Amino acid sequence: MISQSTFVDLCEQELRLCALSPGENFVVLSQGDERAEYVDAFMAAAQRLGASPMNLRLPYSSSASAGDVGVWTVGNTPLKGNRAAVDVLKAADMVVETLFLLFSAELTEIQQAGTRILTCIEPVDVLARLFPTAELRRRTDVATELLSEARTLRFTNAAGTDVTYRIGYPVKAQYGFVDAPGGWDHWPSGGMVITGGADDGVDGRVVVAPGDILLPFKRYVQAPLEFTIEAGRITEIRGGVEADLVRQYMADFDDPDAYGISHIGWGLDERAKWSALGTDQRGHGMELRAFAGNVLFSTGPNELFGGPNHTSCHLDIPMRNCSLFLDDRPVIVDGEIAVDAMRAGGVPVGV
């Protein structure tokens, strides 16, 4: 168990990475009684750095943040319709949010006002163990450059996956801290890059293999689960009990956009463990999205990139042992990162 004083130290290190400066306006956003210790730790850390902290606390109305209870929907948060609260956040220099605002229109609006935003919802020991590093950021920058230059992304696995994305949106990198105006990141992110296919530009099939991870269900897949994708839409879901579960889960949203394709990318953090879910069901599962060499396939909204799909139905599916190609260049081969400068201890940028 990490003590509250150690947590304050961690938050101070994190806010230093985020370049929080004396005199900056700093807001911690929370809901109900959730994560009161996070609010206190961040405000104490911000005070140490000479910033002006405050806590904006909203009534509890979203189960998106916990990830371990209720329906895990994205984009609908307690900020929806609360104009005064959005304005407070837009006026801040930096916000730490504990709700999970990703895929919400409000997050985009706040970023566009120049506020930098950090999401922080994971258990404290996970925050400590996967603390951001400059080295991981360097490797993430390499991945960002490679992905930014690509026009197509294709990935395969031995279970039968063969799907191609005609890249249609800018690359987003996450490395666990945010130091630029208007930026967003999530502590921890473990080094990951994502982009999106053009709205009608994803075709093929994705066969999720046993051992791959279904989020937000937090389970290892037991039997192959096959998505058929045509022109950026899921047209068929086949397989065992997980296929039934996914098919019904999506249908229950009663939203055609639930069948869209969301972000695609890969993780780089060798500290993050694929096996973590075997013993730890807490939190949002960032460790599972971040482990080195996983291909993170996801369905649903592309709001994140400025796309038109705003559905609340979002699945993240970290997949092992895949091969991923950018314009036919192998970047990940059978789950191993194939570019030295993206590997731990790899060659520095530009060499």
Residues binding Fe ion (CB under 5 A)? 298, 316
- Min dist CB 298 to Fe ion, Å, is 5
In the complex with Fe ion, the residue whose CB is nearer, 86 or 313, is: 313
In the complex with Fe ion, the residue whose CB is nearer, 20 or 286, is: 286
In the complex with Fe ion, the residue whose CB is nearer, 75 or 183, is: 75
- Min dist CB 101 to Fe ion, Å, is 13
Whose CB is nearest to Fe ion? Answer: 316
- Min dist CB 98 to Fe ion, Å, is 18
In the complex with Fe ion, the residue whose CB is nearer, 98 or 174, is: 174
- Min dist CB 299 to Fe ion, Å, is 9
**Mapped to the 3 state alphabet, what secondary structure does the chain carry?**
CCCHHHHHHHHHHHHHHCCCCCCCEEEEEEECCCCHHHHHHHHHHHHHCCCEEEEEEECCCCCCCCCCCCCCCCCCCCCCCCHHHHHHHHHCCEEEECCCCCCCHHHHHHHHCCCEEEECCCCHHHHHHCCCCHHHHHHHHHHHHHHHHCCEEEEECCCCCEEEEEECCCCEEECCCCCCCCCEEECCCCCEEEEEEEEEEEEEEEEECCCCEEECCCEECCCCEEEEEECCEEEEEEECHHHHHHHHHHHHCCCHHHHEEEEEEEECECCCCHHHHHCCCCCCCHHHHHECCCEEEEECCCHHHCCCCCCCCCEEEEECCCEEEECCEEEEECCEECCHHHCCCCCCCCC
- Min dist CB 344 to Fe ion, Å, is 24
- Min dist CB 305 to Fe ion, Å, is 12
In the complex with Fe ion, the residue whose CB is nearer, 303 or 316, is: 316
In the complex with Fe ion, the residue whose CB is nearer, 39 or 272, is: 272
